[in-house]
A = this chain, B = another copy of it.
Amino acid sequence: MTQANDLKAWQQKAQAQTELVLERLLPSETQIPQRLHEAMRYVTLGGGKRLRPLLVLAASELGDADLTAVEQAMGAIEMVHVYSLVHDDMPAMDNDSLRRGKPTCHVQYGEATALLVGDALQTQAFEVLSRPTALPAERRLKMLSVLAKASGSLGMAGGQAIDLANVGKPMNQAELKQMHGLKTGALIRAAVVLGALACPDLGDGEIDRLDCYAAKLGLAFQVIDDVLDCEADTATLGKTAGKDADNDKPTYVKLMGLSEARVYAEELIAEAVALLQPFGEKAAHLRQLAEFVTARKN
């Protein structure tokens, strides 16, 4: 098998594992309140790149991971990501009607339910991560702390607030980097760090190195997102294309130009991959995921 085929096979297997994990960690739609649970499953199951759970899994391959902890982290981080999408799609925010090729939550279930779906998915993430594993309790608390810090007002939600405050305003590259570092980067870093924390044999030095890898990866991911949003059409993306430009949102493409933005992303990925060198072959999937980010089409 070629390396590209190998990654594709691993990705598909890991995506299937993510689906099973989420299926198991979400409340059943036979449980009361059924409609809320049905909607939580509607938005979470059946699609998405699953980049964050894949990063958890790939990072966990660097050490002697506790499988239960890895799967809890995979599920929890995807729930946080999906909750943010559900709220972000609402009329008060981006007012998107299509997500992953399906009607968005508020279109399908109404705004009040969409609000509760996002709220309850966030809670479920923390509930899942507070369940028992074989890891030392201090390590489990650290995982909860990492997820909370990455998701809140000094992480993802903070990035969304900065984004919101800057619609229609010019931003320089440093400001854009800070905004995306919180909005997208914080959760991508948390994914990698959670995967590493699920390995009791990985220490602070190794986790810090992985955090640096993830910071560069997260930034590259956002730059490529801007590139794709500029290039792609609605059919390929499975979401409404050109929204960012329509909304006068600052993007890397507007700031740097299309080809320069792509070059910048490729440089970031090269730096990220270089940081993985001490981990040798165990980092194969983290390396391949980084390269996938610049190669992806949606």
Contacts and interface: CB of A to CB of B under 8 A. Distances in A.
Interface of A: 27, 31-33, 35-37, 40, 83-84, 87, 90, 92-93, 110-116, 118-120, 122-124, 126-127, 130-131, 136-138, 140-141, 144-145, 147-149, 151-155, 157-158, 160-162, 164-165, 178
Given A27-B153, A137-B138, A153-B123, A33 B161 contact: yes
A137 B141 contact: yes
Main secondary structure of the interface of A (DSSP, over half): helix
B90 A153 contact: no
Given A119-B87, A148-B130, A164 B40 contact: no
Given A33-B161, A127-B145, A141-B130, A153 B118 contact: no
A67 to B, nearest CB: 19
A-B CB proximity, top 4 nearest? A137-B137, A123-B152, A127-B148, A92-B111
A27 B119 CA distance: 20
Nearest to A27: B153
Contacts of A37: 153
Nearest to A144: B130
Contacts of A119: 83-84, 87, 118-119, 122, 157
Nearest to A88: B115
Contacts of A31: 154
